Amino acid sequence: MLPVAARSPRTALLALLWALLPGFPEHVELEPLPQWQPVGENLTLRCQVEGGAPRTNLSVMLLQGEKLLSWQPAKGTPVAEVTATVLARRDDHGTNFSCRTELDLRPQGLGLFQNSSVPRQLRTFVLPKVRPHLVTPGIMEVGTQRSVTCSLDGLFPASEAQVHLALEDQRLTPTVKYSKDSLSATALVEVAPRDEGVQQLTCAVTLGNQSQRTQESVTIYSFPAPNLTLSESEAPEGTVVSVECKAHAGAVVTLIGDPDESPFPSAQITLNATAKDNGRGFVCSAALEVAGHVLHKNKTQKLFVLYGPRLDKENCPGNWTLEEGISQTLRCQASGNPIPKLDCRRKGDGALLPIGESRPVTRDISGTYVCRATSRRGVATHEVVVNVIYQQSNLVTIIAVTALILGIAATGGTVAYLYNRQRKIRKYRLQKAQEAAAMRLNTPP
């Protein structure tokens, strides 16, 4: 650059004009806003303006959208800073803030010149000062899955909140449902033998730059079912059978059917197996106390007793009286284990009695039958007499009764006839006597 003395008159004139001409702001910037702003707290907006002349004609506006928040003259050199404080509201969430400069050269006849900063978006939030509500099972058995739920109301905006669920250092994967001002997160918890004991389940809800968390204790336990053993699960009749019930560590058992039935780590009974014990069920009930809860588990087992066929009067009556033509189901049942095969055959001709079939009774099934129950453990027999009442027996009775009724009716008719005849004779004789008396009265002496 040439010294001022060496400049030409034309160059010196241009430099003088440039110094006297107005200048627009070189830089207009709104300072960055907080990433999240709590609702109900004050927010300070700062706008910096660099350059611009003449300063007496330069002003700065702070705007929310197109709404004017503050208008101030630009003061300070070389950078002017303008501030304004606003109270953050829910409605401010997602709105833009900016600052704008105005260089008013209308008095010089040059007009009004504006320049704006890059807009910045504000995000407001509400996180209530309460802990999330955590619903847990309280106790969990090793090897099982249970669901846990964490919820929190009064959030804004709820959809922006993050949920962290964890069992100790095991992070869970929740499914989160959002509503207008709340959220609910549900996750499955699966526990393994290594987790046995008291564990902490944590739920943390984060929104903006704040977080609320809650913890609940979960007791994880192991409780296998008790052991129930029979010395023989299938025993011949008369065999001595031992029944034993045992609990795992920490639990006590009760053997249902034990005369004592007191809770101990183990219980045992013995019995002499009879036919009545076939199919008898034994129950071993275990109890374990976990975190104040008494838990129960049962184990059941049946005893099967092998015994020979039996036919008793209750299940196979000895005398049957049946009416001809009426549909009947003849029942005769044999007991035994294994279940015996049964047939009933008539003495003499060996005709088979249709046991268990529904059919009309006919007179040709009358007779004496021998019912035979057979299994690999023996044979049992029982005699059955079948009597059939014929239809004609009823007809004879009906005829006899009819004849009796007719005889009575005939006798009554004869008596009535004789009575009426005598009554008519008496009436006739009385009439003749009255006529004779009238004639004597009318005859002159």
Predicted pLDDT of residue 53: 81
Name all domains of the chain by residue range, CATH numbers in brackets: 23-125 (2.60.40.10), 133-221 (2.60.40.10), 227-308 (2.60.40.10), 311-389 (2.60.40.10)
Give me the pLDDT at residue 154, please: 95
pLDDT tens digits along 282-300: 999 999 999 989 999 999 9
pLDDT in tens, 392-407: 544 444 454 454 445 5
| pLDDT for res 22 | 58
Per-residue pLDDT of the chain (445 residues; tens, 9 = 90+): 223 333 455 444 433 343 345 578 889 999 999 999 999 999 999 999 998 888 888 999 999 999 999 999 988 778 889 999 999 999 999 999 999 999 888 888 888 888 899 999 999 999 999 999 999 999 999 999 999 999 999 999 999 999 999 999 899 999 999 998 999 999 999 999 999 999 999 999 999 989 999 999 999 999 999 999 999 999 999 999 999 999 888 899 988 866 666 678 888 999 999 999 999 999 999 999 999 899 999 999 999 999 999 999 889 999 999 999 899 899 999 999 999 999 999 999 999 999 988 999 999 999 999 999 999 999 999 999 999 998 654 444 445 445 444 554 444 555 455 556 666 665 555 455 445 444 433 434 3
Measured distance CA(327)–CA(349) in Å, rounded:
24
pLDDT value of position 397: 47
Instruction: Report the candidate in 54, 61, 55 with the shortest Cα–Cα distance to residue 74.
Output: 55
Task: Please give the model's pTM, rounded to 2 decimal places.
Answer: 0.62
Backbone angles phi, psi at 202, to 5 degrees: -115, 140
- Are the beta carbons of 281 and 245 closer than 8 angstroms? no
Q: Secondary structure of the chain in the HEC alphabet?
A: CCCCCCCCHHHHHHHHHHHHCCEEEEEEEECCCCCCEECCCEEEEEEEEEEEECHHHEEEEEEECCEEEEEEECCCCCEEEEEEEEECCHHHCCCEEEEEEEEEEHHHCCEEEEEECCCEECCEEECCCCCCEEECCCEEECCCEEEEEEEEECCECHHHCEEEEEECCEECCCEEEECCCEEEEEEEEECCHHHCEEEEEEEEEEECCEEEEEEEEEEEECCCCCEEEECCCEEECCCEEEEEEECCCCCEEEEECCCCCCCECEEEEEEECCHHHCCEEEEEEEEEEECCEEEEEEEEEEEEEEEEEECCCCCCCCEEEEECCCEEECCCCCEEECCCEEEEEECCCCCECCCCCEEECCHHHCEEEEEEEEECCEEEEEEEEEEEECHHHHHHHHHHHHHHHHHHHHHHHHHHHHHHHHHHHHHHHHHHHHHHHHHHHHCCC
Cis bond leading into 22, ω under 30°?
no
